[in-house]
Amino acid sequence: MFKRILIANRGEIALRVIRTAREMGIECVTVFSDFDRQALHTRMGHVAVPLDGNLPAETYLVGEKVLAAAKATGAEAIHPGYGFLSENAGFARSVTEAGLAWIGPPPAAIEVMGDKIESRRAMLAAEVPLVPGMTDPCETPEAARAAAEEIGLPVALKAAAGGGGKGIRIVRDLGEVESAFRTASGEAQSAFGDGRLYVERYIDNPRHVEIQVLFDQHGNGIHLGERECSIQRRHQKLLEECPAVVLTDELRARMGEVALRASHAVGYQGVGTVEFLFSKDEFFFLEMNTRLQVEHPITELVTGIDLVREQLLAAAGEPLELSQSDVVMNGHSIEVRINAEDVPAGFLPATGTVQNLRLPGGPWVRVDSCMYDGLEVGLNYDPMLAKIIVWGPDRGTAIARMRRALEELNIGGVRTSATAALAVLAEKRFMDGDYDTHFLESLDLSSPLGNEEDLVAALAAVHRYHRSRQRAISVNGDDRAGWLHRSRESMSDHRRRAGRHGDAQ
């Protein structure tokens, strides 16, 4: 096993890796920009190396600087976290060529799965079900229009080299193809340096279900069940849960087998996620994320398996200790991403200084966060400030626990997406498991705090929902008889705090 690794990332994911590494007796080197000089990941590493600069393009995205820091500090391996260089095959190759271990899949697997067209070709050869569409890029709006006519409307124009919801446009009328092509291609060029697009059938009202996979360097692989990630805005996830409401054991086994087949097709190693669109008991390969996912904690809480530990063991060449029969899904877990975003303004990025921070706690509540009082939130980095993760023996308990955790949370000075998550959790359709990737768009989030009478009615609906299942709603460890009354009081307190700090959430 490694004695020292470098973490080529920042924020909560850097802290997440540090914690498991420390438990395994591994020292961690962290890197930091000028902006992150006082950040928690900078302070928690055994050694911290400045990258000299503020912007990501000057610091965390400069592979040469990161690699030089690893060599100078005697690191034996590099963990890329997610984002930044995590899916950069060129950087992964430079790490291995320098004699260091790459805590991730082989560069060739990153290359194939990072290119949506190449991945579609590979999956077609492996007989993995695909959304009907192109296996070649379209070079012009005219070619895109011809493809749309052949495939049938609606279609999605998608960036060949991208992900994260960038470079995607939905077309429902052939007259929209040209403008959609130019917009999506320009966005893809700006985001990924590659403006190529391909066209595929757009599936209305799908669910987004992904399978977690784990492989060693000896050809052994297992899957760790699924996560549902359908609560999204602009194709970016806000709330995830495990397991998915819609999957039977038989469907889970089928999707798991397909995910393993897809991974074997590219010689995968380490931790990865195969993402599917799910509709009416059919599922189609969407893409593979060749890294640790933001939402990995819900899989950890349901399976009891530390995914960062498994990454480190795989990268060190250790054989897989687990078999498929060892994977048991126990209970239900939900994760909410807390982003610095102005929800009523359409989830635009928000800035400010974190004040009066209060993070939730209590039984089966996990918080992965980089926040502290006085943290300056700017626009140079990803807006995610924290992840709130809960576990319960069943889905109803997990929903109630997440509501309680979010009601405990206070982040003064910066608007966040927590209000949108609370609105989702209060919806009967969500509680019934009746939702898809367009669910968030159906909610009225135009008011920062919503209409109080509507919120109280929603809280009452939650109360009735759990009472109907003979489960008491418990907040802060006691069964509150005056729950609705106190919820109204807490909303009044929320308004008073908002008046002092601009927005308490």
Tokens linked to 1: 């096993």
Average pLDDT, rounded, for the chain: 89
256: Cα within 13 Å, side-chain hemisphere: 21
What is the side-by-side order of every strand in the sheet holding 365-369? 282-289, 270-279, 207-215, 221-233, 236-242, 332-339, 384-392, 365-369
Q: Which among 125, 127, 119 is positioned nearest to 162, based on CA atoms?
A: 119
Kindly report, residue by residue over 435-447, the tens digit of the pLDDT: 999 999 999 998 6
DSSP helix/strand/coil, 462:
helix
pLDDT band at 162 (very low <50, low <70, confident <90, very high): confident
Q: Spell out the residues 6+ positions from residue 207 whose beta carbon is closer than 8 angstroms to its own.
A: 228, 230, 244, 246, 277, 278, 279, 435, 436, 437
- Is the preceding peptide bond at 105 cis, omega within 30 degrees of 0? no
State pTM to two decimals: 0.84
Residues of each domain in the chain carrying CATH 3.40.50.20: 4-103
Rounded distance between C-alpha atoms, residue 156 and residue 153, angstroms: 9
DSSP helix/strand/coil, 301:
helix
Kindly report, residue by residue over 320-360, the tens digit of the pLDDT: 999 999 999 999 999 999 999 999 999 999 999 999 999 99
Query: Which active-site residues does the annotation give?
Result: 291
Rounded distance between C-alpha atoms, residue 5 and residue 340, angstroms: 30
Evaluate if residue 254 carries a pLDDT over 50: yes
DSSP conformational letter for 363: T
Residues of each domain in the chain carrying CATH 3.30.1490.20: 132-201
Rounded distance between C-alpha atoms, residue 50 and residue 59, angstroms: 9
Contact call for residues 466 and 400 (beta carbons, < 8 A): yes
- Is the preceding peptide bond at 154 cis, omega within 30 degrees of 0? yes
Residues of each domain in the chain carrying CATH 3.30.470.20: 207-497
Tokens linked to 99: 């004699």
Tokens linked to 238: 């806000």
Q: Spell out the residues 6+ positions from residue 11 whose beta carbon is closer than 8 angstroms to its own.
A: 39, 41, 370, 381, 382, 384
Superfamily of domain 132-201, CATH level 4: ATP-grasp fold, A domain (3.30.1490.20)
Cα angle 191-193-195, degrees, rounded to a multiple of 5:
90
Kindly report, residue by residue over 185-203, the tens digit of the pLDDT: 999 998 888 999 999 999 9
Average pLDDT of span 472-478: 38
Supply the pLDDT for residue 464: 53
Whether CATH 3.40.50.20 fits 4-103: yes
Q: Which among 417, 367, 501, 354 is positioned nearest to 39, based on CA atoms?
A: 354
Evaluate if residue 262 carries a pLDDT over 50: yes
Kindly report, residue by residue over 66-105, the tens digit of the pLDDT: 999 999 999 999 999 999 999 999 999 999 999 999 999 9
Q: According to the 3-state scheme, what is the secondary structure of 77-143? A: EEECCCCCCCCCHHHHHHHHHCCCEECCCCHHHHHHHHCHHHHHHHHHHCCCCECCECCCCECCHHH
- Please give the class, per CATH, of domain 207-497: alpha beta
Contact call for residues 51 and 59 (beta carbons, < 8 A): yes
Contact call for residues 84 and 9 (beta carbons, < 8 A): yes
Kindly report, residue by residue over 271-303, the tens digit of the pLDDT: 999 999 999 889 999 999 999 999 999 999 999
